[in-house]
Structure 1
Amino acid sequence: FTFRKQDVCEKKQADPVHRPITRRFAAQIASTQQNRAEGTKKSNLGNSNGFGEVIFVDDEHKPTDDQPVPMTLEQTEPVHNELDQMEEVEMEDIIDETVLDIDICDANNPLAVVDYIEDLYAYYRKMEGSSCVSPNYMTQQFDINERMRAILIDWLIEVHDKFDLMHETLFLTFNLIDRFLAKQTVVRKKLQLVGLVAMLLACKYEEVSVPVVGDLILISDKAYTRKEVLEMEKLMVNTLQFNMSVPTAYVFMKRFLKAAQADRKLELLAFFLVELSLVEYEMLKFPPSLLAAAAIYTAQCSIYGLKQWSKTCEWHSNYSEDQLLECSTSMVDFHQKAGKGKLTGVHRKYCSSKFNYTAKCEPAHFLLEDSL
């Protein structure tokens, strides 16, 4: 499946002053000069023009076999050789046409930081390893397990939705929880407190308006005191060494959705799938960038009913379709089971009109069949 350039935005035309001189383009310049000269023959020396030196050769001045052959541009009689039969292209067109420039529409938007957006995401990819945790860190916990973690995260997704917080806050909250639990043993009666404090810290980092400590105490049914919340906050920031600036799956989602030219439907389904994955402890083995790319790939398969991963998506995500399949099939499985069992917080959230009833979208069953 190939996107046309017109489907995204018009390609910016190259500045003719800096345009590479191709055989065809130079021949056009030469033809114009020849008409002005009204029949005067060009010599085999280059004539200076606004585009640099252009060399022309007449039939009367063909080089002999023992002379070095200069770069030439024939104006009249075509030479029937393999080079002349090739279509002339500019240097900028050598790159695969299917890899679209997704930032060209934001060239005048200073908030899009087009000049260094690629460097920014290269840095995110380099640093995402430091934000990941061991996929078996629960083995060092003696009083909590994977199921308890899933219950906590499923509940926090609902809390996040009730407070109407930003997407960034949700992803950072879960990152803080896992990084903290990977370094600090916690008894089960304090696990909910860990989740509340992680959300409080994420709000302080991402939100403009932060929930007060009293609100967090109320939603926990007053299970904790203000003093306990503040003590846990102090313990968490010290354990994490105040490092809150980590690339989560959210930052990769935004970039990869742009590469996929996603509409609202695709965006919501991709976020539904990635949030289902956040609940599952087993998905910690995948880095945030892979999780984001797989969610978008799976969402595309669900909506279009066929495998679809464009060259543009592959280029910007640095993941091929084959690299996404393991994670993607797991997401399809979660999608199928989302409305069943006890942990249905994500499903209920995306079954609402606020999220366009996204959870009711049919899963990409064929991905599971192909993996068998």
Structure 2
Amino acid sequence: MDRGVENERGMMRSENYQGFQMGGLKHGREMGDNHHRRALRDINNISNDASYPSAAFKSRSNDVVPIDDKNANSYIGRRPITRRFAASLAHKSLDCSQNASSKMKPIGSERQKRNQPIQNTSCVDNCDSVDVDDFVSPNDIPLPMVEEVEEMVDFELKEVEMEDLETKLLKDIDSCDSNNPLAVVGYVDDIYSFYRETEELSCVPPTYMSNQLDINDKMRAILIDWLIEVHYKFELVEETLFLTVNIIDRFLARQSVARKKLQLVGMTAMLLACKYEEVMVPVVEDLIIISDRAYTREEILQMESLMANTLEFKMSVPTPYVFLRRFLKAAVSDRRLDLLSSYIIELCLVEYGMLKYCPSMLAAAAVYTAHCCLKGFNHWTRTSELCTRYSERELLECSRMMVDFHQKAGKGKLTGVHRKYSTYKFGCAAKSAPAIFLLGMNL
């Protein structure tokens, strides 16, 4: 047709016009052979390997198409979404989420077991092979009762409230020091978390004395009892005493020492601790005098070098004292509780058997035992439990040993701690009655 005829009819035909009339596809091909146009109804139905949709459908209908994981999606994509087919898909999704396959039998599962392929002949046939009664509708799943939902919500709310309460209790510990820059309130939690992680570095094997050939645990006790008196005479800070004992134990756990050199080890350990903790460090001559000139200056300096190299210069370790100060703060302690806790924990420094407990355990048990002494009954607050991370049951064994030491203090030969805490300077804490009831208490 020419353009003039089209204009006379009052219409403009596009270039894709193929002349569809009563003749359908045949007439269209006759009119548009030069352009090789296809019918609109055949668009999107032709695959890459066939020129016409009828040929493609005919060849595919006779092909064998097994359903497996690889082509399952393509198989489902070619099926119409009927009610039965939708029900089968919903049930398959439900069973996958519940990990239960007893009620669901996917299409072709029996054929797959026999390794027999499925003939993809008709979507209607495949849909008829599915029985909707075999599937469980998501609407049939029993929902929880209103009471159960309310109980779950209440339980979660209680947990959140408990966590908020615990956080508030721990924050209240440092509220009094919010204006004290030396208390480093913003970093104190991180500092003690680091102490918790590294306190194992300060621990020694509780049986290390078995590797020593010339000394034993009784000699260690005599040495530490003497050092407590030296520490008191030099008026050193408490951190120095605990670090001195720690250096001695760590060194003896690695190095064999002769009996006549044991006092030299103790004096040198105190010198190292003073250099780390004290502002005014005692000079070597003071140590020589306090030891009744048993050792020379050169011997002390040589031992200092040996000990520093043996310990690899690791002097910064968490001792029971750093935990004791924190736990007393959590217990809202007064002067009586402070002194009695320090007295009990210093009694443990002399005892070789207390090395099996980590520093934080010793500090927590000392505070708990002192509380029981002053109160007359077992007393352990929730705040103390959260701060120390030890329950009353976990502390009971260590606390009973401390009560035993408290009973025996001042009766044997090693009375340095008892005499120190019997003075008015330390509040006569040694005269407090021990919490004997803890020895027979069961939790």
Structure 1 length-normalised TM: 0.74
Residues 1:222 and 2:290 aligned together: no
Aligned residue for 2:122? none
CA distance in 2, matches of 1:319, 1:94: 17
Residue 236 of structure 1: which of 302, 307, 314 is its match? 307
Residues 1:95 and 2:183 aligned together: no
Aligned residue for 2:241? 170
CA distance in 1, matches of 2:216, 2:378: 36
Residue 105 of structure 1: which of 166, 171, 176 is its match? 176
1:217-366 to 2 correspondences below 5 Å:
217-366=288-437
Instruction: Compute the displacement of 1:283 (Å).
Output: 0.1
Residues 1:207 and 2:278 aligned together: yes
CA distance in 1, matches of 2:203, 2:225: 20
Residues 1:154 and 2:225 aligned together: yes
For the residue of structure 2 that corresponds to 1:95, the secondary structure is helix
For the residue of structure 2 that corresponds to 1:308, the secondary structure is coil
CA distance in 2, matches of 1:95, 1:205: 39
For the residue of structure 2 that corresponds to 1:342, the secondary structure is coil
For the residue of structure 1 that corresponds to 2:165, the secondary structure is coil
Deviation readout 1:199-233 (Å, 9 max, x if unpaired): 00000000010111011011111100011000000
Give the counterpart letter for 1:96 in structure 2.
Answer: L
CA distance in 1, matches of 2:326, 2:185: 12
CA distance in 1, matches of 2:279, 2:350: 26
Give the counterpart letter for 2:359 in structure 1.
Answer: P
Residues 1:143 and 2:175 aligned together: no
Instruction: Compute the displacement of 1:96 (Å).
Output: 3.1
Q: 1:235 to 1:105 in 2, by over 3 A?
A: same
For the residue of structure 2 that corresponds to 1:231, the secondary structure is helix
Instruction: Compute the displacement of 1:356 (Å).
Output: 1.1
Question: Aligned residue pairs: how many?
Answer: 287
Aligned residue for 1:191? 262
Q: 1:93 to 1:311 in 2, by over 3 A?
A: closer
Instruction: Compute the displacement of 1:353 (Å).
Output: 1.1
Q: 1:212 to 1:303 in 2, by over 3 A?
A: same
Instruction: Compute the displacement of 1:191 (Å).
Output: 0.2
CA distance in 1, matches of 2:162, 2:293: 64
CA distance in 2, matches of 1:175, 1:146: 15
CA distance in 1, matches of 2:362, 2:311: 23
CA distance in 2, matches of 1:251, 1:99: 20
Percent identity, please.
65
Q: 1:94 to 1:185 in 2, by over 3 A?
A: closer
Give the counterpart letter for 2:354 in structure 1.
Answer: M
Give the counterpart letter for 2:164 in structure 1.
Answer: I
Residue 196 of structure 2: which of 119, 125, 132 is its match? 125
Instruction: Compute the displacement of 1:173 (Å).
Output: 0.2
CA distance in 1, matches of 2:292, 2:442: 45
The runs of at least 4 aligned residues of structure 1 exceeding 4 Å deviation read 91-94
Q: Which structure carries more relative contact order (alpha carbon 8 Å, separation 6+)?
A: 1
Max radius of gyration: which structure? Answer: 2
Aligned residue for 1:60? none
Task: Structure 2: state its 5+ residue gaps.
Answer: 1-149
Deviation readout 1:89-131 (Å, 9 max, x if unpaired): 9x87863379352012222222111112111101100000011
CA distance in 2, matches of 1:281, 1:360: 24
CA distance in 1, matches of 2:397, 2:431: 23
CA distance in 1, matches of 2:263, 2:425: 27
Give the counterpart letter for 1:357 in structure 2.
Answer: C
Over the residues paired in the alignment, what is the CA RMSD in angstroms? Answer: 1.9
For the residue of structure 1 that corresponds to 2:187, the secondary structure is helix
CA distance in 2, matches of 1:93, 1:126: 26
CA distance in 1, matches of 2:413, 2:440: 27
CA distance in 2, matches of 1:263, 1:302: 14
Structure 2 length-normalised TM: 0.63
CA distance in 1, matches of 2:359, 2:317: 10
Structure 1 range deviating more: 100-109 or 332-341: 100-109
Deviation readout 1:10-64 (Å, 9 max, x if unpaired): xxxxxxxxxxxxxxxxxxxxxxxxxxxxxxxxxxxxxxxxxxxxxxxxxxxxxxx
CA distance in 1, matches of 2:308, 2:206: 22
CA distance in 2, matches of 1:284, 1:228: 29
CA distance in 2, matches of 1:94, 1:367: 31
Q: 1:93 to 1:309 in 2, by over 3 A?
A: closer
Give the counterpart letter for 1:322 in structure 2.
Answer: R
CA distance in 1, matches of 2:195, 2:427: 31
CA distance in 2, matches of 1:155, 1:146: 14
Give the counterpart letter for 2:207 in structure 1.
Answer: N
Aligned residue for 1:19? none
